[in-house]
Amino acid sequence: MNRSQLNQIIQKEGLIPLGVVPLFYSESFERFLRWRNEGKHAGLKYLEKYDELRKEPERLLPGAKCAIIVALRYGQSESWPLRDEETPRVAQYAKFNDYHQLLKRMGERIVTRLKTESNFKTHSFRVLVDTAPVLERALAAQTRESFIGKNTCLIHPSEGSFLLLGEILTTFTFQTDQKEKKVECGTCSLCQVECPTGALNEDYILDSNRCLAYWTIENRGPIPEEFWPHLSKYYFGCDICQIVCPFNEEAKTHFVASKVVPREMPSLYEVATMNQQDYERYFGGTPMTRAKRNGLRRNALIAMCVTRHPKLNEALQYAKKDGGFPIEETSAQIKKYGEQSFV
Ligand code: B12
Ligand code: SF4
Ligand code: SF4
């Protein structure tokens, strides 16, 4: 099978074939170690384990020769500056069913299809979608056209960066990509200028300690008050450093709607006061469950607080009665925040 036949199979599944790359990225692994040694991973403890696999991804599949890199493009409807600046929203990827499962199933179907070809019968495949300690962006950056931007995202010059990445490791020796023309950020620095918290102050480095995506998705405890004003824009994840990127503006013009349809999001008041059953009904199967019900409630209460939502006190009473970490702490912060202004 040649590369164009492989691409056809991937495209038929609704994915973008970014390319095929060797399992080697020593420069990026060194960058990763420096980043982690400087504590830029904040509380992401899982990044402190399995370095041997992260360093040598070929260990994830005995005899692996290369990785087929695929991407799921998700539509995004925002432009910069945001419409309804004071209407807290969720990052676009979170409105769809969880990409880990979605992309994994798509990858498995591609493998099933490949295995019908006689030359693949004796070969092994393994589909990864952030399901193993791999530097996914570093691998994808070795495909012919893609590159890592100053916002640290993987960008394809014409598809943009609203892409979710998956890899299919294989023992088959496909011809791997040669970098052709070099497109990159150049003198642009829009993502660094517009990041509300200064998380991208160093080129090509993200400091998770200052990133809203880290605080609203990954952190289980209270959110430091210095970040609160920015939850008036996003209360789960953050897309700002991508929305402002000229490569995404360009990509918008030829976006073809995919099969995945975004879900309707409940109001902030509903998120702050939802019981377990409603939580599962609204968010079950989406990336929002990463923050758990308590985390979403924490985020929603903060967003209500900073946008002076008329039902904040009502929501707060409900949340306190319902309990659960870190609601007590967040209530105390809201009280303190409010004393300076309005509660
Ligand atoms: C931990 C993590 C996070 C953390 C830390 C993010 C970060 N920049 O490291 C937090 C919680 C903040 C986060 C946020 C988001 N994430 Co995240 N995250 C991950 C995860 C699980 C690991 C990433 C990791 O190892 N980071 C450590 C750093 C050091 O590694 P790195 O990003 O791969 O590469 C860095 C350097 O090595 C350097 N680099 C590497 N090689 C090279 C080469 C050259 C030449 C240069 C100049 C630089 C360079 O660039 C980066 C900056 O330091 C990956 C999945 C995975 N297994 O890879 C998803 C992943 C990176 N996340 C993803 C997404 C979608 C997001 C969000 C957009 C979600 C949202 N809307 O809120 C934001 C984007 C924020 C941002 N600007 O990065 C996608 C990114 C897709 C894409 N197009 O890039 C991934 C790949 C998941 C997936 N399978 O699709 N995420
Ligand atoms: S996701 Fe938001 S907070 Fe994080 S680096 Fe990008 S713009 Fe900054
Ligand atoms: S906004 Fe500009 S600097 Fe940032 S990633 Fe996009 S092109 Fe690069």
Q: Give the chain's end-to-end CA distance (angstroms, integer).
A: 66
The pLDDT tens digits along the chain (343 residues) read 889 999 999 999 999 999 999 998 889 999 999 999 999 999 999 999 999 999 999 999 999 999 999 999 987 778 899 988 889 999 999 999 999 999 999 999 999 999 998 889 899 999 999 999 999 999 999 999 999 999 999 999 999 999 999 999 999 999 999 987 788 999 999 999 999 999 999 999 999 999 999 999 999 999 999 999 999 999 999 999 999 999 998 787 666 656 667 888 999 999 999 999 999 999 999 999 999 999 999 999 999 999 999 999 999 999 999 988 899 999 999 999 977 664 4
Using CA positions, which residue lies closest to atom 6 of ligand 3?
245
What per-residue confidence (pLDDT) applies to 343?
42
Distance of CA 234 from the midpoint of ligand 1 (Å): 19
Asked if 74 and 159 count as a contact pair (C-beta separation under 8 A), the reply is no
Q: Please count the CA atoms within 13 angstroms of the CA of 244 that sit on its side-chain side.
A: 17
Cβ neighbours of 294 (radius 10 Å)? 18
What are the phi and psi torsion angles at 291 (to 5°)? -85, -10
DSSP codes, 172-228: S-PPPP---S----TT--HHHHH-TT-TT-STT---GGG-HHIIIII--SPPPGGGG
Q: Is the CB of 198 under 6 A from ligand 3?
A: no
What per-residue confidence (pLDDT) applies to 297?
97
CA distance 138 to 67: 12
What is the best residue among 152, 182, 189 to mutate for testing ligand 3's pocket, by most ligand atoms within 8 Å of CB?
189
Strands 89-90 and 234-236: parallel
CA distance 34 to 28: 10
Using CA positions, which residue lies closest to atom 6 of ligand 2?
241
Active site residue 130: yes
Distance of CA 163 from the midpoint of ligand 3 (Å): 15
Residues with CB under 6 A from ligand 2: 151, 195, 197, 199-200, 206, 211-213, 238, 240-241
What per-residue confidence (pLDDT) applies to 256?
61
Query: Model pTM?
Result: 0.97
Assigned token pair, 95 = 């409105």
Per residue, the 3-state secondary structure of 77-146, as one string, reads: CCCCCCCCCCCCEECHHHHCCCHHHHHHHHHHHHHHHHCCCHHHCCCCEEEECCCCCCCHHHHHCCCCCC
What per-residue confidence (pLDDT) applies to 26?
86
CA distance 18 to 257: 18
- What is the H or E stretch that residue 15 is in? none
CA distance 54 to 135: 7
Closest ligand 1 atom number to CA of residue 134: 57
